[in-house]
Structure 1
Amino acid sequence: MALPSLLVIVQFLWSLPIALAAKVAVALLMLFASQFMLWSRLSSGSVFAPEFPRPIILLFNWAGGTILFLAALQLLLDVVMLGLWLGGSSAVVPLSVRWGMTAVAMILATVGVANAVRVPPVKDVGIAIPGLPAKFDGYTLLQLTDLHISRLFPASWTRHLVERANALDVDLIAITGDVIDGSLAMRREDVEPLRQLSARDGVHMSPGNHEYFLGYQEWMRHFTSMGMHILENAHVVLERMGHRLVLAGVTDRSAHATGMPPPDLAAALEAAPSGVPILLFDHQPGAARQAAARGVALQLSGHTHGGMMPGLDRLVALGNAGFVSGVYAVDGMTLYVNNGTGIWPGFAMRLGRPSELTRITLRRAS
């Protein structure tokens, strides 16, 4: 983040006709804002759990977004000016253009942060499953993922989310990881509203990478005490009048680095009934082809936050086997990559990649 700040300072700020003292002051503020990760680590010991008041976190994200957007606009302007110079023109950038760039960057950052922190609207998704038993035709799941409950998404936000989720009256609630940002001591009150989540077949969860960074075993015990069924390389069989559906979940790729069991789909499906459609929870979508090869019918993932905005989503795709947002057909399996219910407080920015409360209805494939 320091690099975009330096670009804006050198190429944009220094050319403005304002007092030198003002330039220095703004430059120092920009450099300070660019080091949000450092201040977060100093505040809590982890970049994943900034322990500042919510307005401060919002301000840091807005400032960081403004810097990034202004840096992108400055690069675009530089390209245009280079083209004019190569064409023999000696055009000077009007001051009004620079002030206009500032306004655009600030507005984009404001909209981006507002989109990121709202309680998401309901998104309905229908997915056809080959061989889906008749009694599960029309079965509804609510997928919650990447809540990142934190100082940015406190108990009040979680409470509103739970109220909206329960009002949907779904058959099952699927949580696919990254529920928290912070230790249990930090977040106990903020996650407490999740205890009220309700569905006919219960609340089932697979872990995400952030759980491993912030006291994994303690969190899993706590979530279990809240009534969640944790699927750690394991499965359950759902039954309706003799018709069955396998619900499986794997641990996250980050598990191995923390000394915990890595994802093991074979273990998750061991002794699962044959000929029964399999629904898999896997926080990260990158291993979708391996899941398809094991006969999984539907994989639910998150992790990517939908790429957050156009352009950046292409970078996110590089680390997730090209899977970023929405429905994918993967070797006969359906993969759904959720944009996320919340977002990591270290970069709370969404443009064109909205958060979602995702109600999935299963249908029998013709």
Structure 2
Amino acid sequence: MVIVFVLVIPMVVALMGVLHWYVWRRLVRDTTAPGTLWRRMGTTVFVAGPAFMLTAFLGSWAGLPFGLVRVLSWPAYLWVAVALYLLLGVLAGEVLRPALTWLLRRRATRASATAQAPATEPVTVPDGTPASLPADPPAADTGVAAPAHLSRRMFAARLVGGAAAAVAVGTVGYGTYGVLRGPRVKRVTVPLAKLPRSAHGFRIAVVSDIHLGPVLGRGFAEKVVATVNSTQADLIAVVGDLVDGSVGELRSSVEPLSALRARHGAFFVTGNHEYISGAEQWTEHVQELGMKLLANQRVELPAFDLAGVNDVTGEDHDDGPDLAAALADRDPSRTSVLLAHQPVFVDEAVRHGVDLQLSGHTHGGQLWPMNYVAELANPTVAGLERYGDTQLYVSRGAGAWGPPTRVGAPSDVTVVELASLQA
């Protein structure tokens, strides 16, 4: 693991350095004159941003105090999002800038041709017929063509660069506001063939990927709890990635989760980030907060069986998922609902005849166009899909990992309403 870390980190840093240099060149060097205040300010931003990123990313690993990591994480992670959209804007500008420069050059050529067209003055020839003679010839070329050409190129670079910067900052600003205001409620109806009529309309509030940590803290947890409780669901399912940090660091941040309320209680399964943060401590602490842990276990509710499995990341910690154990000795005529953090577990759910799997993990891609990357690793990125006789619902999640920003993938708490075909 250490060898991989030592080899991969320098490669990632080198790649990030090249990308930052490229964006700096387009947005700062190509749009400002050497030695000017604007160039110095732009260069400072492109040095400070990556510096914050590296310090925050490596801070926890290096043992920096959590309070300091929290302070560094805000500018670091926001810069990650801004840098992504600056890069996309600059790439789009590679197409737009030459076309804009060509249009400016063409317009200037037409204006120059109009200005240099010989004017005429009326004269009278001996037979009395009016005629015209050319006016004074235009002044000799003074050599201003090249500077004018450079000015057009600079103007195009500034126009494209300014637009890219404005769009990037505006996009990140709006996407961050969308996260910090708290998740919105989404409602989905799932028909289940074996669900009895008595359970028709049973509502499960699915909460995933809250990611309380150095960026999203206690205040955000309170907003999530208020949103979940407002749904007045019959059952709450917290399907992993609750935290990014240890119990000692986040004890105060997660405390509001003890206020989650539902008729049949709140249930929890681990996500991959729990194993990064100390799964054993967290599985104990969530129970202290009043949630019921489903670690390869199930509970028999009046109308259906609710099962939960450990995240697949637990396999590296001798604590992996075991759906066979969770479903052992159950009545197969009853509806089964499975809580599993990652959508990829649906293949196992299909093999065991699970009726509905509830998952998170993907964030819906979180930052467009990362949803296309998420599609490569997950069968479903967001929403409800069917795999054989098993239905899979994937929530986009309530919080955000890394940048507290979402673009094209709004956060949600999903109320899954079960529908009986007998109703």
Report the TM-score, using the length of structure 2 for normalisation: 0.78
CA gap of 1:338–1:2, structure 2 versus 1, over 3 A, is farther
Q: Which has the larger radius of gyration?
A: 2
Letter in 1 for 2:400: I
In structure 2, C-alpha distance between the alignment counterparts of 1:261 and 1:151, rounded to whole Å: 26
CA gap of 1:112–1:58, structure 2 versus 1, over 3 A, is farther
SS of match in other structure, 2:204: strand
2:207 equivalent in structure 1: 144
In structure 2, C-alpha distance between the alignment counterparts of 1:46 and 1:187, rounded to whole Å: 18
In the alignment of these two chains, the number of paired residues is: 358
1:4 equivalent in structure 2: 19
By relative contact order (CA 8 Å, sep 6+), the higher-ranking structure is 1
Distance apart, 1:51 and its partner CA? 4.4
Q: Deviations over 1:180-225 (max 9, x none)?
A: 1110000001101111111111111110011001111111111112
Q: For structure 2, list consecutive stretches of 5 or more residues without a partner in the other structure.
A: 1-15, 107-148
* Alignment of structure 1 residues 212-223 onto 2, 5 Å: 212-223=275-286
Report the TM-score, using the length of structure 1 for normalisation: 0.89
Does 2:308 align with 1:249?
Answer: yes
In structure 2, C-alpha distance between the alignment counterparts of 1:4 and 1:302, rounded to whole Å: 31
SS of match in other structure, 1:347: coil
2:6 equivalent in structure 1: none
Does 2:175 align with 1:112?
Answer: yes
In structure 2, C-alpha distance between the alignment counterparts of 1:50 and 1:69, rounded to whole Å: 29
SS of match in other structure, 1:357: strand
Native 8 Å contact 1:142 1:360 kept in 2? yes
Q: Deviations over 1:24-80 (max 9, x none)?
A: 553343243235553224432279x97448675443333322221111111112134
Letter in 2 for 1:264: D
Native 8 Å contact 1:4 1:67 kept in 2? no
In structure 2, C-alpha distance between the alignment counterparts of 1:32 and 1:283, rounded to whole Å: 36
How large is the Cα RMSD of the aligned pairs?
2.7
In structure 1, C-alpha distance between the alignment counterparts of 2:308 and 2:275, rounded to whole Å: 16
Letter in 2 for 1:348: P
Moved over 6 A (4+): 82-86, 88-91
Q: Which moved more, 1:283-292 or 1:174-183?
A: 283-292
In structure 2, C-alpha distance between the alignment counterparts of 1:277 and 1:157, rounded to whole Å: 34
Q: For structure 1, list consecutive stretches of 5 or more residues without a partner in the other structure.
A: none
Q: Deviations over 1:304-327 (max 9, x none)?
A: 111113321010111223x11111
Aligned counterpart in structure 2 of residue 77 of structure 1, from 93, 108, 112: 93
Distance apart, 1:256 and its partner CA? 2.0
CA gap of 1:110–1:4, structure 2 versus 1, over 3 A, is farther
1:238 equivalent in structure 2: 301
Percent same amino acid at aligned positions? 30
In structure 1, C-alpha distance between the alignment counterparts of 2:66 and 2:353, rounded to whole Å: 41
Does 2:249 align with 1:186?
Answer: yes
CA gap of 1:360–1:260, structure 2 versus 1, over 3 A, is same
* Alignment of structure 1 residues 1-366 onto 2, 5 Å: 1-20=16-35, 22=37, 23-45=39-61, 51-52=67-68, 57-81=73-97, 92=153, 93-239=156-302, 244-257=303-316, 259-321=317-379, 323-344=380-401, 346-365=402-421
Native 8 Å contact 1:235 1:272 kept in 2? no
Native 8 Å contact 2:206 2:415 kept in 1? yes
